[in-house]
């Protein structure tokens, strides 16, 4: 009998613990996307149908359970964070002029930049209206800090892209403020719902940061060696969009000056051909840029598991630890 994959084991654990809550989140999302404006309805249905693993709502729900909370606010707030996340993805695709999202045409490719920006704004507004109705100052402050951090990181990333220079420290700052701050907010909200002591509140907050950094480094590594059919992520998409990620940064530290200048010359071009993308990808793989990045991702994942030590053993703690393993060991 074959050994169950990590993904399958994790899915079974998540379904057993918060499966009903996640179904309730989907219903909340459908309700939130309902609108008398036809274009919002069309785009909303398309975006909701894109699927995804709902990682952020899952983190919030599991953190809430770990903190001892059982109640309806968790599903409503899980809907809020997924709407916010969706809004950021729509805006990211416009900025990056990305043609695809999860293997399908992106919203901007389907309806144009103007409609995408406006619907993204609508989702932001909708989510904060839901937060106001929830009326919890601690939750509001947590998400407000995260969204400010995310937008600041977006602008800093653009600044670094225009300069043509992104160091490892720059990269870690960007992904910490952009991806990890939001995952951290999801975990912190779960802890706030449970009213746990400060030590546990801060531990779940740190867990979210470590998970977020590990997730983003791993995700960026997929740009160089993803199984495109399985994960719906096109090889070289980040390179084409001019993003300087950790595998690329690590490679530039390892190659000869001549090789580094060749890669930088290619990256300064307005557009890369398929052959040029493949040339850069091969240099990154040959000089262990992906190996270096994944080692860093594993270190953050181990840190995330260590963050959970302040909680007594439970199914929720074990499942959050499995998520730490999964975000860096997804099938490539």
CA dihedral 305, 319, 192, 119 (to 10 degrees): 110
pLDDT in tens, 307-317: 999 999 999 99
Q: Which residues of 4-33 are buried (b: 16+ CB within 10 A; e: fewer)?
A: eeeeeebeebbeebbeebbebbbebbeebb
Q: Which of 94-103, 237-246, 261-270, 305-314 has the lowest mean pLDDT?
A: 94-103
Ranked by mean pLDDT, which of 35-44, 46-55, 218-227, 278-287 comes out on top? 278-287
Domain parsing of the chain, residue ranges:
6-329
Mean pLDDT throughout 48-66?
90
Decide: 331 and 77 in contact? Cβ < 8 Å.
no
Mean pLDDT throughout 207-232?
85
Mean pLDDT, the chain, integer? 92
Q: Within 13 Å, how many C-alpha atoms sit on residue 255's CB side?
A: 23
Q: Is the dihedral of CA 126, 132, 135, 140 positive or negative?
A: positive
Decide: 154 and 178 in contact? Cβ < 8 Å.
yes
pLDDT value of residue 234:
67
Residues with Cβ within 8 Å of 104's Cβ and at least 6 positions away in sequence, in order, are 50
- Number of helices (H), then strands (E), belonging to the chain: the values are 17, 2
pLDDT value of residue 228:
60
Task: Find the largest Cα–Cα distance for the chain.
Answer: 60
Taking alpha carbons only, the member of 12, 20, 25, 16 closest to residue 57 is 25
For the domain 6-329, what is the CATH code?
Answer: 1.10.600.10
pLDDT in tens, 132-142: 999 999 999 99
pLDDT value of residue 3:
54
pLDDT value of residue 101:
79
pLDDT beyond 60 at 2: no
pLDDT beyond 90 at 190: yes
Where are any strands of DSSP class E within 95-177?
100-101, 104-105
pLDDT beyond 90 at 249: yes
- Which is more confidently placed, 39 or 319? 319
pLDDT value of residue 229:
56
Q: Cα angle vertex 189, ends 187, 195, to 5°? A: 110
Decide: 212 and 179 in contact? Cβ < 8 Å.
yes
pLDDT beyond 80 at 80: yes
pLDDT in tens, 82-120: 999 999 989 988 888 888 777 788 889 999 999 999 999
pLDDT value of residue 331:
57
- The tokens of 128 are what? 């904060």
Interaxial angle between packed helices 274-286 and 246-254, expressed in degrees from 0 to 180 and rounded to the nearest 10 = 70
**What single DSSP character describes residue 309?**
G
pLDDT beyond 90 at 122: yes
**How would residue 242 be classed by pLDDT, with cut points 50, 70 and 90?**
confident
pLDDT beyond 90 at 161: no
Decide: 18 and 62 in contact? Cβ < 8 Å.
yes
Alpha-carbon gap, residue 245 to 175, rounded angstroms: 10
Taking alpha carbons only, the member of 217, 199, 216 closest to residue 308 is 199
Q: Cα angle vertex 147, ends 145, 150, to 5°? A: 110
- The tokens of 4 are what? 């169950």
For residue 310, count other CB atoms closer than 10 A to its CB: 17
**How would residue 1 be classed by pLDDT, with cut points 50, 70 and 90?**
very low
- The tokens of 30 are what? 């459908």
Distance set, CA 288 to CA 169, 225, 241, 249, 294 (Å): 19, 12, 22, 11, 10
pLDDT value of residue 332:
46
* 290 Rama class: left (phi>0) / alpha (psi -120 to 50) / beta: alpha
For residue 95, count other CB atoms closer than 10 A to its CB: 14
């Amino acid at each position: 009998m074959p050994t169950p994959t990590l993904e399958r084991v994790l899915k079974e654990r998540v379904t057993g613990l918060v499966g009903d809550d996640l179904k309730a989140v989907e219903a909340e999302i459908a309700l939130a996307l309902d609108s008398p404006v036809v274009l919002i309805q069309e785009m909303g249905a398309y975006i909701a149908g894109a699927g995804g693993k709902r990682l952020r709502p899952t983190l919030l729900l599991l953190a809430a359970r770990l903190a001892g909370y059982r109640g309806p606010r968790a599903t409503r707030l899980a809907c809020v964070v997924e709407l916010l996340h969706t809004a950021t993805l729509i805006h990211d695709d416009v900025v990056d002029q990305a043609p695809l999202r999860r293997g399908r045409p992106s919203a901007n490719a389907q309806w144009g930049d103007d409609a995408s920006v406006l619907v993204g704004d609508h989702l932001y507004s909708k989510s904060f209206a839901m937060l106001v109705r929830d009326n919890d100052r601690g939750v509001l402050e947590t998400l407000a800090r995260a969204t400010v951090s995310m937008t600041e990181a977006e602008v800093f990333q653009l600044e670094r892209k225009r300069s043509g220079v992104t160091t490892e420290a720059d990269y870690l700052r960007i992904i910490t403020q952009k991806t990890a701050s939001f995952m951290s907010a999801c975990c912190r909200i779960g802890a706030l719902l449970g009213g746990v002591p400060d030590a546990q509140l801060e531990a779940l907050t740190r867990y979210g940061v470590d998970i977020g950094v590990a997730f983003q480094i791993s995700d960026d590594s997929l740009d160089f060696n993803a199984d495109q059919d399985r994960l719906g992520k096109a090889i070289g998409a980040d390179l084409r969009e001019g993003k300087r990620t950790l595998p690329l940064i690590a490679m530039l530290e390892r190659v000869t000056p001549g090789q580094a200048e060749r890669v930088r010359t290619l990256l300064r071009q307005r557009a890369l051909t398929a052959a040029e993308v493949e040339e850069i990808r091969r240099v990154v793989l040959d000089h262990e840029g992906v190996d270096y990045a994944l080692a860093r991702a594993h270190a953050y994942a181990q840190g995330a598991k260590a963050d959970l030590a302040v909680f007594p053993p439970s199914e929720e703690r074990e499942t959050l630890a499995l998520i730490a393993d999964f975000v860096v060991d997804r099938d490539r």
